């Protein structure tokens, strides 16, 4: 890893670009731009907090991914969360309570975390946690939802809490979306978009990019449709094959290069929208940004994991503070031993090296001395 490379500076530039794009995207909407102005100030203050910690030798990521439930009403083909058994049809047990999530949100705010991505399972099933998020306007909460539980109650919440931004999962056209997510889901998403747009509420779309749909989901036809519907952000999530059978769906170098150039084109041709790709361009970020470099993941039971696609953990935020979880032995080892920047074929280094990560976790539990 290039020692000069400054991950904090790189991530803060990323945050500033998203905020600037969001400011531009909401200019015509007074209530949204009023909130964005407030958030821009809060994220600047948060960047200062993180920079001050960096000077003291402690790295704080600007992003956190929080999977707030292990329940979901859908059974999407290839769902990584169901394949990892992080989402099941069993009644949820020992999930973090609304109060525990509120504590984590406050600790994140104190440390300088600016974005907390709420996911699941289906996060709109946890109304109490979403309300708690709404009470913390200094943090922006993109909510990655399948959109099927959206109705008046949630539209009113999004109206009163502008720091909560629904990001609805869609796979491209009606056929592809319903084929993966279930009959009727696409029409529900489109009616949500029309309602959100009518109410002047900001929303986004999350697209799982596969070898099947990478051209369609970056096409003018699809992005133009989303823009017309009032969509202000598109998050391209590269498909990570959590089962060997689905590995042919994972984008390779050619597809990733195509997507990278398309996103650059879209940023120029659609200034009214924000485009983000996950896990993004590891070459420019000095490797994978998981395990606390750019973000980390807390699952619905409180375990701190490098990433939703790397469900291994050696700490639980029920037992330790968020700050201690960020410095877990496993995260330190993955960063110090430069596993995150190892050469790898596919899109996700930690998925590709999952056996190594598991072996490290087991070894750490017996021997690795935690260097404070
Ligand atoms: S909505 Fe999300 S969590 Fe639920 S099955 Fe589909 S991909 Fe999985």
Cα distance between residue 21 and residue 19, in whole Å: 5
Q: pLDDT value at position 366?
A: 54
Pocket residue to mutate for ligand 1, from 73, 77, 82, most atoms within 8 A of Cβ: 82
| Cβ of residue 122 lying under 6 Å from some atom of ligand 1 | yes
Q: pLDDT value at position 372?
A: 38
Average pLDDT for residues 277-300, to the nearest whole number?
84
| Cβ of residue 189 lying under 6 Å from some atom of ligand 1 | no
Cα distance between residue 275 and residue 280, in whole Å: 11
Residue in 145, 129, 118 with CA at minimum distance from that of residue 63:
118
Residue in 249, 281, 251 with CA at minimum distance from that of residue 264:
281
Please say whether the beta carbons of 40 and 12 come within 8 A.
no
Atom of ligand 1 nearest to the CA of 82: 8
Residue in 112, 99, 166, 106 with CA at minimum distance from that of residue 136:
106
- The answer to whether position 221 is within a domain reads yes
Ligand 1 atom 8, closest CA? 79
Calculate how far, in angstroms, residue 75's C-alpha sits from the geometric centre of ligand 1: 6
Cα distance between residue 210 and residue 216, in whole Å: 10
| Cβ of residue 76 lying under 6 Å from some atom of ligand 1 | yes
Calculate how far, in angstroms, residue 78's C-alpha sits from the geometric centre of ligand 1: 9
- The answer to whether position 2 is within a domain reads no
Ligand 1 atom 2, closest CA? 121
- The answer to whether position 99 is within a domain reads yes
Domain count, the chain: 1
- The answer to whether position 355 is within a domain reads yes
Residue 8, pLDDT > 90, answer: no
Atom of ligand 1 nearest to the CA of 87: 3
Ligand 1 atom 3, closest CA? 121
Q: pLDDT value at position 371?
A: 40
Summarised one tens digit per residue, pLDDT across range 247-281 is 888 888 899 889 989 999 998 999 888 888 887 66
Angle at 122 between CA 116 and CA 124, to 5 degrees: 70
Domain that holds residue 216: 7-370
Cα distance between residue 259 and residue 281, in whole Å: 10
Ligand 1 atom 6, closest CA? 76
Among 152-156, 333-337, 362-366, 367-371, where is mean pLDDT lowest? 367-371
Q: Could you tell me what percent of the chain has a pLDDT over 70?
A: 94
- The answer to whether position 143 is within a domain reads yes
Calculate how far, in angstroms, residue 177's C-alpha sits from the geometric centre of ligand 1: 12
Summarised one tens digit per residue, pLDDT across range 162-177 is 999 999 999 999 999 9
Q: pLDDT value at position 1?
A: 42
Residue 117, pLDDT > 90, answer: yes
- The answer to whether position 30 is within a domain reads yes
- The answer to whether position 175 is within a domain reads yes
Calculate how far, in angstroms, residue 116's C-alpha sits from the geometric centre of ligand 1: 19
- The answer to whether position 29 is within a domain reads yes
Calculate how far, in angstroms, residue 82's C-alpha sits from the geometric centre of ligand 1: 7
Residue 19, pLDDT > 70, answer: yes
For residue 127, give the CATH number of its domain: 3.20.20.70
Calculate how far, in angstroms, residue 119's C-alpha sits from the geometric centre of ligand 1: 10
pLDDT band at 368 (very low <50, low <70, confident <90, very high): very low
Pocket residue to mutate for ligand 1, from 70, 72, 208, most atoms within 8 A of Cβ: 72
Atom of ligand 1 nearest to the CA of 208: 7
Q: pLDDT value at position 280?
A: 66
State the virtual CA torsion across 280, 284, 288, 292 in degrees, nearest 10. Answer: -100
Pocket residue to mutate for ligand 1, from 73, 78, 83, 87, most atoms within 8 A of Cβ: 87
Q: pLDDT value at position 272?
A: 86
| Cβ of residue 120 lying under 6 Å from some atom of ligand 1 | yes
Residue 369, pLDDT > 50, answer: no
| Cβ of residue 121 lying under 6 Å from some atom of ligand 1 | yes
What's the pTM value of the predicted model, to 2 decimals? 0.92
Cross-strand bridge partners of residue 141: 164
């Amino acid at each position: 890893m290039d020692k000069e490379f400054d991950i904090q500076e790189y991530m803060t530039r990323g945050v500033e670009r998203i905020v600037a794009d969001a400011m531009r995207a909401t200019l015509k909407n007074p209530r949204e731009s009023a909130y964005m102005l407030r958030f821009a100030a809060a994220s600047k203050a948060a960047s200062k907090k993180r920079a001050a910690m960096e000077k003291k030798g402690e790295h704080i990521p600007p992003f956190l991914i929080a999977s707030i439930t292990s329940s979901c009403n859908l059974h999407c083909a290839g769902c990584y969360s169901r394949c990892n058994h992080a989402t099941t049809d069993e009644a949820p047990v020992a999930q973090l309570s609304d109060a525990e999530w509120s504590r984590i949100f406050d600790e994140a705010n104190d440390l300088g975390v600016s974005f907390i991505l709420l996911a699941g399972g289906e996060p709109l099933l946890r109304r109490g946690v979403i309300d708690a998020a709404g009470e913390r306007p200094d943090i922006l909460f993109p909510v990655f939802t399948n959109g099927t539980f959206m109705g008046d109650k949630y539209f009113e919440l999004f109206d009163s809490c502008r720091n909560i931004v629904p990001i609805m999962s869609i796979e491209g056209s009606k056929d592809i979306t319903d084929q993966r997510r279930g009959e009727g889901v696409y029409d529900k998403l489109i009616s949500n978009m029309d309602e959100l747009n009518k109410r002047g509420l900001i929303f986004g779309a999350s697209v799982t990019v596969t070898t099947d749909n990478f051209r369609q989901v970056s096409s003018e036809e699809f992005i133009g449709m989303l823009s017309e519907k009032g969509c202000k952000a598109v998050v391209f999530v590269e498909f990570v094959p959590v089962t060997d059978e689905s590995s042919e769906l994972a984008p390779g170098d050619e597809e990733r290069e195509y997507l990278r150039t398309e996103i650059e084109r879209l940023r120029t041709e659609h200034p009214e929208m924000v485009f983000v790709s996950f896990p993004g361009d590891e070459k420019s970020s000095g490797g994978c940004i998981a395990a606390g470099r750019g973000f980390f993941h807390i699952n619905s039971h409180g375990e701190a994991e490098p990433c939703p696609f790397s469900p291994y953990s050696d700490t639980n935020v029920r037992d330790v503070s968020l700050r201690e979880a960020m410095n877990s032995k496993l995260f330190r080892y993955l960063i110090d031993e430069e596993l995150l920047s190892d050469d790898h074929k596919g899109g996700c280094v930690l998925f590709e090296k999952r056996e190594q990560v598991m072996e490290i976790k087991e070894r750490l539990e017996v021997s690795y001395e935690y260097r404070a």
